[in-house]
A and B are shown apart, each in its own frame.
Chain A
């Protein structure tokens, strides 16, 4: 009796805590939306209003219609998608090679070196990169940023994919060979379906990194190509800050990753926990 009471009390307390936490976590998102929908003049009023007293959609119109703002989101989409496709493709091949023929391709040392590139503080190489990209005329191009992000994403995708392939016993492929399947067919029929959750999680991580990157975009980008992350600082003017446009931009650029996350949430959780199905 007392035990049952205690259990339900604990569960109630837990739910209460979760509710408070959910409100706490959701508040910034709510405030972003709230601010984006207010006219600029009523943003800095005190006390702040919890909802826009007069609805103003002009900042959203600006984000979606202004060629610089909308163009920057398209630039970001091109760069993030381009670098993701390349890094996942190359990273999967490299990860497979490391997993299956690790010793033949340098083994642990090389794969650790790959990972160690992620430990390097990126800010330290921003300036040299600026000059190197200048020599190759890669500044202010989509390709330039795609290649640059590849250097950060490829080690990550290689490392992750190696882990996912490691989870699939080599005997699965051998069994397929014995049954008459070519290496390519064995990969397609046996390995690929099993590695798919990991592949999706890896794709997601690579894409999000490129989508959110700011420092290198700021240095390498210019007038022709400007990812959205470089547009937001320009909304901080000398005499005022265009909070409504900043917030509207934030709302719009949160939509693509959110949609992707919702669409693949089951695979992503599976992949993140490295539980590549039940082997």
Chain B
């Protein structure tokens, strides 16, 4: 739209026709008070706080819902405005309790601030104030609804951003109450944002309740590392402890929202299960020792076992995907320096010869502009909440979304088609789609596809990909252990090329992108994670590995690591029984927000962060531990004074994932396929130790879902245990498929 000029408080301002007045004043830095207006939510205009004087209009106009016009003259600060703002303020304060001294919002309260500026110092209201009885709406959000001013930001957040309307206004007039439906409570994976949008102390953080005043804390920017977004956050700290996390605006990454996982996982930092001091195992007994002694012991172990015997190739390094870019880099550098290429972070993959390799070539912000999406093997809402939020935006602006999944999930947007397909048939289905697409462009049909008869479903999927101008194909984490994983990725890549689609690979999460970039994968002469454990090495360095959660076959991994002649150095931030069983040295390392480093998100954006707090007692950042260990081993090239020097050594050439050229396998097999997934709040050690998160419904997810036929085949019934997880029989799961979603250690083979 064309630029027009309007006059605000006597100054000429240019803006786009049709913009709301408040957007213009905000951009120009002119302060207009408001409660219900929020830049990312629809306009409600119900608080009336933003009244301004528009020349020619008989009454003051709400700036949030007044579109601007050429030549408009606005006053934001004259007597008329002041009088109306004062009057509105008086009304808003009629029922608001004067309990600021015991209110958690005190000091960061929009109402308090505005009341200071616009309110009267004496109340003329002598009648009884409204009191609202609070219900428990879940472990994350504390309600004090007597303080509510009915701005409906939380209601609109649920309906517009969260995708499920959870809060609503019941009753009317004096009796209007903002509440969720009965005792259902709030269940959204983004619910914590309601705390951020609430302008008063009605919705506050439950874990943070009565902890501190906001002005007592330091605010430090940081990056959340639980998923592929790398949401920008502010950690608020007090005396070396992270006390609360709030969202930080970054339109190209997380806009102004963060997931509950990013917001509440910090609680785990103060968990009693933290590993706090270096320990070494002497004659089977654990002994707490100084860092010098522990590192000396580790160094001796390595030199005696492998380095001095000329068996550097018997040393292996495994890391979890939550490591920072710098940690990945230093560990692989250390290994390569001593002459070993046994390096891997892909611990949950059954067959590392058959992996999904697919590039992500679309930006996060770009996702909301696509007109068609094909999702394969993912429940993005719980796995990648912020990516799902972008997809929801795309859907709301008209994108059609097709899904090929092994089970029906709860999407918070309209799906064009939801195809529930047996894992063993997904490759075949994609092959059908590819053949149709090749046929449509009269391209040559490869031998492997020649005999395929395409189904109607495939026709519809192909048609929509062909029709779309700007489509994206998303490959999710349920496909990583598919027997035809690499073929699925190849087919997606081919389909994307033929239809000019972009691709998004969300099959590996957290900081996996950094693992790829630093080549934390075996070199030509190296062994991958599975091969290391199968052959049995003589020494291992493990970086934040929790075997029961990280390995696809924990029992086997633990057995291999527990071998008598294997020397195991474990760097962990939390204690773990299995780790204590197989390790010889345990080095306590800093967790999230206690170390500096970098996260690489799905679009390859490197986001570096400083430590928000120092690690407790004797705990050290892993990059420092690795650097000192390298120094002790007298390796060259480890003269780093801080993690930034490490970062600058890593050349960010953007890691290109080469699509495998293995022979296409699209044969449909009849075996039962188990898809195992850690539940959304059990993805890493920190969130597993965050008590409020664990108490939520999502945190409690623990079930092996399958349909009746599969259950019969496996001879299990509802609530029986399958792999130690209670069976839940539902027909929304594809045939021959068990979908395990668990927050507990996995027992047995997957």
> Is the pairing of A and B real?
no
